[in-house]
Amino acid sequence: MKDKKNYVAAIDIGTTKIVAIVGQKNEFKKLEIVGYSSTPSKGVRRGVVLNIQDTINEIQTVIRDVEEKTNIKIDEVFVGIAGQHIKSIQNHGYLNRDSTDDGISQNDIQKLIDDMYRIPVDSDEEILHVIPQSYIIDGEYSEKNPIGICGKRLEANFHIVIGKIASANNIKKCVNRVDIAVNSLILEPLASSQAVLTNEEKEAGVALIDIGGGTTDIAVFYDNVIRHTAVIPVGGNAITNDIKTEFAVINEQAEKLKKDYGSTLAELAPKNQIVTVPGINGRPSREISFNSLSHVIQARMEEIIGVISFELESSGYMNKLGAGIVITGGGSLLKHLPQLISFKTGLDVKIGYPNEHLAGNTDEKLNHPMFATSIGLLLEGYEILDKQNKIETGNKVKEAKTIEKPEEVKEEKKKKKPIFDNIMQKFGNFFEDEKIQ
């Protein structure tokens, strides 16, 4: 069995697939993927675990496969979380320091972060991430790291990500049942952005759009700081289901039609070309025109883009995205999708591949938008471990658990009402409930 101390493992629990992946950083700080495994997902819908046993079986399948391939025993992982229950808010905190002679320390910042975990949320909600955005020292505004600066009053603005406790617990339960501990749950658009965005793009202003099977995840960056996150509860599977319903085909055929013959711009689809779909169990085959197929795809995609545009406008940074939009995830490879999004939003659009931080010897199959979240989870995992290793008492490393909070904080949550409502509630029944096969 290999020494596992230099390896980080992650599990991406998606609507269409579950991926287990193990990596390590080389001497050039590039990520080397030493093993990965993927299997279709049956127990997850729109980013939320609905069938515990199916999800456990699928996690067990990919974990065993990776362990056999790498000869590494996995006992701790970083796991992605998404779903309609995810929401984000902005909050402000302050700290009056005892002395102005000593510069601001990491402990001062940590006290502010710890305070943010105590803000009131619903009794069924959990604070997943507290991300500092900017600092104010004695009334002087500072975007950058304040460590070492002298001052009496330290203030900070935070981006806070909140999710349902039940959804988080179901994910942890599935992983724990395979005898693996969850170090941290990581918001999937944060992970994807780690994998596909450059520091230059984050500084100029960029929106990361990760189009998965069941959800579309959004992360907005400006001046190297995350400004907005959101999860839209619809993705590529909705398009597949539309094709299945419109042309009376089975799910497998609908998925193939979407990927191989469809376009998100119907006007660019050949009007006189058709594809023949075999009939079921001896029934006559049917002919579907490329143009008709693309009209179905474009209609659904325009709905999704409409909600994306709403989220970007709500962030307040729509007009500050100098680097435009980067799309990733399996759904980003739909034909002519960058052109359609650019036409609807007026922004530059490109497809993001997770090769920015990968070592040169990485399996080419992993350099694909559908693995952006998986690779990003490893990168986020390394950052979390670095932070955990810095919080030390002697030789003992303090465990930093993202999901579990002190009991008094949980009691406070039960007594108080939330400040903000989930932004997706504004849409009501904007989307019809698709039946995921």
> What are 142-164's pLDDT values in tens digits?
767 899 989 899 999 999 999 99
Overall average pLDDT of the 62-86 stretch: 93
Q: What's the confidence (pLDDT) of residue 396?
A: 32
Pick from 265, 346, 308, 380: nearest CA to 10: 380
Q: Among 82-91, 182-191, 335-344, which stretch is predicted with the lowest mean pLDDT? A: 82-91
Pick from 79, 102, 87, 88: nearest CA to 12: 79
**363 against 250, higher pLDDT:** 250
Q: What's the confidence (pLDDT) of residue 3?
A: 52
Q: What's the confidence (pLDDT) of residue 99?
A: 79
> What are 298-310's pLDDT values in tens digits?
999 999 999 999 9
Tokens of 319: 């007009």
Q: Among 2-6, 16-20, 323-327, which stretch is predicted with the lowest mean pLDDT? A: 2-6
Share of the chain above pLDDT 90, in %: 70
CB half-sphere exposure, 321, CA atoms < 13 A: 26
Inform me whether the pLDDT recorded for 200 exceeds 60: yes
Q: What's the confidence (pLDDT) of residue 79?
A: 96
Q: Among 29-38, 40-49, 390-399, which stretch is predicted with the lowest mean pLDDT? A: 390-399
Kindly report the number of other CB atoms within 10 A of residue 399's CB atom.
9
Inform me whether the pLDDT recorded for 433 exceeds 70: no
| Domain boundaries of the chain, sorted by first residue | 198-352
Pick from 403, 373, 402, 382: nearest CA to 12: 373
Q: What's the confidence (pLDDT) of residue 101?
A: 78
Do 324 and 347 contact (CB within 8 A), yes or no? yes
Inform me whether the pLDDT recorded for 247 exceeds 50: yes
Model confidence band, residue 98 (pLDDT cutoffs 50, 70, 90): confident
Share of the chain above pLDDT 70, in %: 88
User: Average pLDDT over the chain, rounded to whole?
Assistant: 86
Q: What's the confidence (pLDDT) of residue 390?
A: 40
Model confidence band, residue 96 (pLDDT cutoffs 50, 70, 90): very high
pTM given for the model: 0.83
Q: Among 101-105, 242-246, 317-321, which stretch is predicted with the lowest mean pLDDT? A: 101-105
Q: Among 216-220, 291-295, 394-398, 420-424, which stretch is predicted with the lowest mean pLDDT? A: 394-398
Q: What's the confidence (pLDDT) of residue 331?
A: 94
What is the CATH number assigned to the segment(s) 198-352? 3.30.420.40
3-state secondary structure of 270: coil
Model confidence band, residue 397 (pLDDT cutoffs 50, 70, 90): very low
Do 149 and 181 contact (CB within 8 A), yes or no? no
Do 384 and 369 contact (CB within 8 A), yes or no? no
